[in-house]
Amino acid sequence: MVLSGYGNPMTLFGVYFSRAKEEVSHDATEVALATATGDGRPSVRMVLLKALDERGLVFFTNYGSRKAQELVQNPHAAMCFLWPSLQVQVRVEGVVEKLCDEDSDAYFATRERLSQLGAWASEQSQPLPNRETLLARVEEVTQRFLGQEVPRPPHWGGFLLLPLKMEFWQGEPGRLHDRLVYARETTERDFSQTRLYP
């Protein structure tokens, strides 16, 4: 499949993402998320893409986690999707903003109950003295919300990554890969398109 130009890269991403969800053997929503501290020290980890639209890509986390704290200090982030069986890589660079409470509430309500309880029990990225401490915290919140719906904790929610640059890489025979870059200066501007040598 040779890349073709769409006016909005999220449209092209949607085409590939739909194909990946149908054809890849692992979870197609897995994506490497890179963040950096205010002074530019990078870190990267895997997260799950939970939603997308024409504006960008959504993931969720504890707002006390390392990645969330880094995004508060430095709202620039990058993602990299790799679907080897399709010979496709998609790189995204942009800025993040927190999701509104209503959208975070709506997604939280779809999570399995144990994951909801875990969001209350975990002080994500903070030192944990032992496993028993975590399990005791889970038991405590289990009892607290016994017989009722688990509300979203105020320290947990979503981020939206608004792309400023997206590069689509399609593997081709002889390493004559197809690379197409969409870029814009700000989130209010239209994207330009540039092909790159492989």
Does residue 27 lie in a domain region? yes
Instruction: Name the CA dihedral angle for 112, 71, 88, 28, rounded to a multiple of 10 degrees.
Output: 0
> pLDDT value at position 93?
98
DSSP per-residue letters across 153-182: PTTEEEEEEEEEEEEEEE--GGG--EEEEE
Same domain, 81 and 121: no
Q: Specify if 21 maps to a domain.
A: yes
Q: Which amino acid is at 56?
A: G
Q: Which amino acid is at 106?
A: A
The per-residue pLDDT for 3 is 62
The CATH number of the domain where 96 resides is what? 2.30.110.10
Q: Is pLDDT of 170 > 70?
A: yes
State whether 23 and 98 are in the same domain. yes
Indicate the DSSP class of residue 147.
T
pTM of the predicted structure, to 2 decimals: 0.92
| Alpha carbon distance 182, 193 (integer Å) | 5
Verify that 98 and 138 share a domain, yes or no: no
pLDDT tops 70 at residue 74: yes
Give the pair of three-digit tokens for residue 137: 């915290």
Task: Name the residue type at position 147.
Answer: G
- Among 144, 175, 179, 195, the active-site one is 175
Domain count, the chain: 2
138: in domain? yes
pLDDT higher for 2 or 126?
Answer: 126
Q: Quick one: tokens of 23?
A: 């054809």
Tell me if 94 sits within 8 A of 56, measured CB to CB: yes
In which band, very low, low, confident or very high, does the pLDDT at 7 lie, cut at 50, 70 and 90?
Answer: confident
Burial class, 149, CB count within 10 angstroms (exposed 0-12 / middle 13-18 / buried 19+): exposed
95 and 122 assigned to the same domain: no
Averaged over 68-95, what is the pLDDT? 97
195 has catalytic annotation: no
Per-residue confidence (pLDDT) for residue 26, from 0 to 100: 84
Q: Encode pLDDT of 94-112 as tens digits.
A: 999 999 999 999 999 999 9
Which structural domain range is residue 137 located in? 112-151
Does 173 have pLDDT greater than 80? yes
Instruction: Specify whether 124 is located in the same domain as 73.
Output: no
More confident residue, 89 or 5: 89
